[in-house]
Amino acid sequence: MEDLVESILDYVRAEYTDYAIMINGEWGSGKTYFWNNKIRKKIDGMQFNGKQFTTVYMSLYGISNLEDISKKIFIETTQLMDKNLKRFMDSNGQSNIPEYAKTGLDMANFFGVTQNGDKIDYAKFFSTDDKVLCFDDLERANVDVIDILGYINNFVEHDHIKTIIICNEKELSTKLKSSNLEMKTFIATYLLDKEGDLAKTEKPMVEKIRDKIEYVFDKANDYERIKEKLIGETFEYAPEFNYIINGLLMRYETNPDLLRFLRENTGLIVSTFNKSGTRNLRILKHSLNDFKKIYEMVNKNYPNTNYRIMQTMLIFTIAISFEIKAGKITKDKFINIMSNEEYKAILVSSRVLMDNRQFYIKEFDNNYYYNFKSDYRFFKFIELYVRTRIFDMKIFKADMENIINTIDTDKLPGYKRLLTEEYWKISDDEFDKVIESIISDIKEGKVTLVEVVKLFAYFSYFSKSGLISYDMKTVKSIFFNGMNVASLNSTYCEDVEKELSTVAVEKNSTEMDEILKHFHEINAQLKDKMYRDKAEELFKCIPMKMETFYDRFEKECMDIPIFKYYDVHQMFQRLSCASNEDMVTIREILRKRVDTHQKEIEPEIKNIKQLKQIMDDYVKGKDISIKMVMLDEFSKDLGYIIDKYKGSIFAPRTETAEEQE
């Protein structure tokens, strides 16, 4: 790094130059930090041949025309002639002026206001041999790069001003090729058509258009030509990480505990950074800022957290930041993983059962946790915080409580260990005990239905591999009976596909197919029970708790066939006791519901027909009253619902005699 500094200073010291130099490096690699802390101060403090050098720094980020660059140069140079301003900056140790202050100075100059009444020293104003211009973020300007380099060339070739350009040539190349791509594609297609090449099939269409674009709009060659004329030397900036990491950590001097922890784990920081495959120090800086929040919240709420867990949190925060912010993955890769248990279940399935459906998760884990052993490697509250910037206290506390309860695997039930830990990590002495404890828990119904299915995949593998003495017939019998017992206390599993995606269910396996069929049958029964309980709670709100009814019905029952699960005669009794106003409101809700969720609520149509018949029978022969009119109108709206299914693809099937009975 010192060799690079000296090479740049040699350029500044050179008596005569008619070229600029370029510092090239990846985004976020610390090029600007390098300029401010390694180069700028040395140039500003350097005297050579009786000249005191002055640096003029300009970021081209967002610059939309060349005039903006001229304004920036004017402000940067003229502000240094003001003695009061210079004195103020020196006394406060400031080397540059904030952008908003420059705007004020610019407007003051525009309106003829001076800070101390001094006249401009035109000898200084026209002096160029003591200035060093630095143009940063060349690739981020909104002006054509060729135009900017031509503009800069005026200073270099005609005024011989020392000029340093900082950029990311890799992104610059991409920008040159992708600018106005839609227009270029249109013109290239038009030219190919005119030349009669569009219909030819000797080369793919995409390739022909790309070649034509490069031939007609070869900005890259224009850039190379002007670069060859303007740039005398290009220096590749490779950050000296130990120096930069020290600067990053100094930000946390106000928190001695955090600073000490980060310094103790500098090796982990460096290692995780290197494993990210990028050189983006900006993302690392942001990830350390995120970890500061995490570290402080953990220490405040859970001060005795295991040190190994804190190290893993550090790795995970940096890793997930790079994966998301460097554009390596889409943000939803981790969105459906809600806990460390699910994360580990995916890993175990992919490694033990050779399941490649979650290939990315396995690669992520292999990369960032290579040679780092930790049973707890996924933190939902951190993933959510990095992805959304929301620090969810509820999820944070749930994660931390789970860590406290599961950090010691000896306290975990055997089946939890098998689902979240590679089986080969269980010692031979423990393995048989773990297997027997799992079988015991399954027989007693202590394992949820969906976990029984997951465990069957492992027991099937163990049986066929000879790791357990149970044959497949015995295993299947135990699991079948265990599912029956578990059904008494289990709840309906809604997202079956997501739950079972964490394990590799063996394809074309008769035993697994039977287990899955039995699971789906029981799960369907649990679904019916859940809806019956919901219907009982909901319809009891009529007529006395109508606000609760409306709220719950709108939130929970618009897309489920809730009328299927409640006795029709009781439903009529409750509806007939409701106020006329409530009857009108319920009718409106039901019409809206069938218009938006016709397919989902189709299973309840039998009860809707029956409810209409009961209303019609009740109204028939009764004296006219508002209540009778309301019930008659209600019946008509039920008829509207029934008519929706006539000739529709959602029309209910004809029931068999057995079903009618």
208-230 pLDDT, tens digit per residue, is 776 766 665 555 556 677 777 78
Q: What pLDDT sits at residue 179?
A: 57
Task: Please give the helix or strand (H or E) that residue 311 lies within, else none.
Answer: helix 307-325
**With b meaning 16 or more CB within 10 Å and e meaning fewer, what string describes 142-162?**
ebebeebbeebbebbeeeebb
Give the integer Cα–Cα distance in Å for 522 and 492: 9
Q: How confident is the model at residue 545 (pLDDT cuts 50, 70, 90)?
A: very high
Place of tokens 């591999």: 465
Give the integer Cα–Cα distance in Å for 184 and 190: 10
Q: What pLDDT sits at residue 200?
A: 72
The structure's pTM equals 0.48
Q: Is 58 helix (H, G, I), strand (E, B) or coil?
A: strand
Taking the chain, what is the end-to-end CA distance rounded to the nearest angstrom? 88
Q: What pLDDT sits at residue 103?
A: 46
Going 260 to 261 to 262 to 263, the CA torsion angle's sign is positive
Q: Where are the alpha helices (DSSP H) in 369-495?
A: 380-388, 393-406, 414-420, 428-443, 449-465, 472-486
Rg over CA atoms, the chain: 36
CA distances from 273 to 106, 304, 500 (A): 42, 27, 34
Q: Which of 581, 631, 585 is nearest to 611 (CA)?
A: 631
Q: What pLDDT sits at residue 297?
A: 94
**With b meaning 16 or more CB within 10 Å and e meaning fewer, what string describes 204-233?**
eeeebbeebbeeebebeeebeebbeebbee
Q: What is the pLDDT of residues 294-310, one digit of tens each?
A: 999 999 998 888 888 99
Residue 514's CB: how many other CB atoms inside 10 A? 14
Q: How confident is the model at residue 615 (pLDDT cuts 50, 70, 90)?
A: very high
C-beta separation of 125 from 154 below 8 A: no
* pLDDT, averaged across the chain: 81
Which pairing describes strands 54-59 and 51-52: parallel, antiparallel, or unpaired? unpaired
User: What angle do helix axes 568-577 and 605-619 make, rounded to 10 degrees?
Assistant: 50
Tokens standing for residue 365: 């884990």
Residue 628 Cα to chain centre, angstroms: 57
Report which of residues 81 and 228 the model is more confident about.
Answer: 228
Half-sphere exposure of residue 216: CA atoms within 13 angstroms, side-chain side: 17
**Side chain identity at residue 649, one-letter code:** I
Q: Tell me the mean pLDDT in the region 62-87.
A: 67
Lowest mean pLDDT among 115-119, 139-143, 357-361, 625-629: 115-119
* pLDDT value at 85 more than 90: no
Task: Please give the helix or strand (H or E) that residue 610 lies within, else none.
Answer: helix 605-619
Q: What pLDDT sits at residue 126?
A: 46
Q: How confident is the model at residue 177 (pLDDT cuts 50, 70, 90)?
A: low
Q: How confident is the model at residue 125 (pLDDT cuts 50, 70, 90)?
A: very low
Rama region for 23: left / alpha / beta (φ>0; ψ in -120 to 50; rest): beta
Q: What pLDDT sits at residue 348?
A: 75
Tell me how long the chain is.
661
**Maximum Cα–Cα distance across the chain:** 116
Q: How confident is the model at residue 356 (pLDDT cuts 50, 70, 90)?
A: low
Q: How confident is the model at residue 583 (pLDDT cuts 50, 70, 90)?
A: very high
Report which of residues 5 and 292 the model is more confident about.
Answer: 292
DSSP secondary-structure letter at 559? T
C-beta separation of 167 from 139 below 8 A: yes
Reduced DSSP (H G I as helix, E B as strand, rest coil) percent helix, strand, coil of the chain, to 5? 65, 5, 30
Q: How confident is the model at residue 380 (pLDDT cuts 50, 70, 90)?
A: very high
Place of tokens 């925060």: 317
Mean pLDDT comparison of 49-53, 156-160, 472-476, 643-647, highest-scoring range: 472-476
* pLDDT value at 68 more than 80: no
User: What angle do helix axes 256-264 and 281-301 make, rounded to 10 degrees?
Assistant: 120
pLDDT-above-90 percentage for the chain: 31
Q: What pLDDT sits at residue 112?
A: 52
Three-class secondary structure assignment of 464-508: HHCCCCCCHHHHHHHHHHHHHHHCCCCCCCCCHHHHHCCCCCCCC
* pLDDT value at 317 more than 50: yes
* pLDDT value at 381 more than 90: yes
Half-sphere exposure of residue 128: CA atoms within 13 angstroms, side-chain side: 15
Report which of residues 181 and 283 the model is more confident about.
Answer: 283
* pLDDT value at 596 more than 80: yes
Residue 17 Cα to chain centre, angstroms: 49
* pLDDT value at 190 more than 80: no
Q: What pLDDT sits at residue 559?
A: 92
Report which of residues 201 and 142 the model is more confident about.
Answer: 142
Q: Tell me the mean pLDDT in the region 445-457.
A: 88
Q: What is the pLDDT of residues 484-540, one digit of tens each?
A: 999 888 888 887 877 776 666 565 578 888 888 999 999 999 999 999 999 999 999
* pLDDT value at 423 more than 80: no
Residue 294's CB: how many other CB atoms inside 10 A? 21
Tokens standing for residue 562: 């809730």
Domain spanning 2-176: CATH 3.40.50: yes
Tokens standing for residue 93: 């140790």
Ranges of each domain in the chain = 2-176, 241-407, 425-528, 541-660
Which pairing describes strands 131-136 and 54-59: parallel, antiparallel, or unpaired? parallel
* pLDDT value at 172 more than 80: no
Residue 519's CB: how many other CB atoms inside 10 A? 22
Q: How confident is the model at residue 41 (pLDDT cuts 50, 70, 90)?
A: confident
C-beta separation of 53 from 12 below 8 A: yes
Q: Tell me the mean pLDDT in the region 465-490.
A: 90
* pLDDT value at 618 more than 70: yes
Residue 415 Cα to chain centre, angstroms: 31
* pLDDT value at 326 more than 90: no
Task: Please give the helix or strand (H or E) that residue 164 lies within, else none.
Answer: strand 162-167
Give the integer Cα–Cα distance in Å for 453 and 476: 11
Give the integer Cα–Cα distance in Å for 138 and 140: 5
Angle, alpha carbons 54-60-61 (nearest 5°)? 135
Give the integer Cα–Cα distance in Å for 74 and 596: 64
